[in-house]
Structure 1
């Protein structure tokens, strides 16, 4: 089983539930030396390495290989699944954990601009986004990518 640090649309538990058909346990976490950006023309964010910055998010626990295949397909070619070290923030003392995170594959992409705001995204885009996630999952299941024939 793996863990995955999420920092954008996957902070919305309903997005995770649709993608994974469940809501895995999670913990608030911080990823240091990365920065979260808005992607011009998209409703989702990207992270890239940047010294002295940090990204707040959460870690999803108990992620199976089939879950990772769904997430890999969902994140598509724009992201690389990378191993990162995050600080879990749910205890009195932060605890470090190695986890996967989806890092933007083009760190010099001119579409990266400004900060991405989860609360703003929820207000403006969550309903439309949930529809597209449901469509993605239906297409994923129909394609046989999930190992079920």
Structure 2
């Protein structure tokens, strides 16, 4: 048994594009168990010019999402890498949708809670319809980069998750 096999597993609350099994399976290179949950006290924002959302604290906020259960340190690192430095990992309490049980999990929060590029409410169904294909293409390129950077920077990946159709001002 390797040391990574002995590491504690992680449960991570995800929202946005990471609720889509095709995205999660690609990034984690497996199909983790996903459990529906709600996160209170946060809002799911659109990000101007991006295909993905962010969350930030909000007194009356409520986010429906999924818990990815039993992630390894390596899988958690993959999530952190694709999210980049604009997000920070934080421990939060969620409520399981089916049982109403409360659970402490990790989630990824937008680091700049005052970012002027956050606006409105991000819509999962709209994203699936309009942007999922492009996002999966970008995630595929990211995973290729992760395995073999060949001198390319992470910034090259970031341009793939830009939303070409977003309004100039929101």
**1:45 CA displacement:** 0.5
Instruction: Please tell me whether residue 124 in structure 1 is matched to residue 124 in structure 2.
Output: no
Aligned to 1:108: 114
Number of equivalences: 142
CA distance in 2, matches of 1:15, 1:99: 20
CA distance in 2, matches of 1:90, 1:26: 12
TM-score, length of structure 2 as denominator length:
0.81
CA RMSD of aligned residues (A): 1.1
CA distance in 2, matches of 1:128, 1:11: 16
**1:90 CA displacement:** 2.2
Aligned to 2:143: 137
Aligned to 1:71: 79
CA distance in 2, matches of 1:26, 1:18: 14
Q: Which structure is higher in strand share?
A: 1
Instruction: Please tell me whether residue 58 in structure 1 is matched to residue 44 in structure 2.
Output: no
Aligned to 2:105: 99
Structure 1 gap segments, 5+ residues each: 144-149
Where do 1:42-53 residues align within 5 Å? 42-53=50-61
Structure 2 gap segments, 5+ residues each: 1-8, 150-170
Where do 1:21-36 residues align within 5 Å? 21-36=29-44
**Structure 1 residue runs of 4 or more that deviate by more than 3 Å after TM superposition:** none
Which structure is larger by alpha-carbon Rg, 1 or 2?
A: 2
Aligned to 1:146: none
TM-score, length of structure 1 as denominator length:
0.93
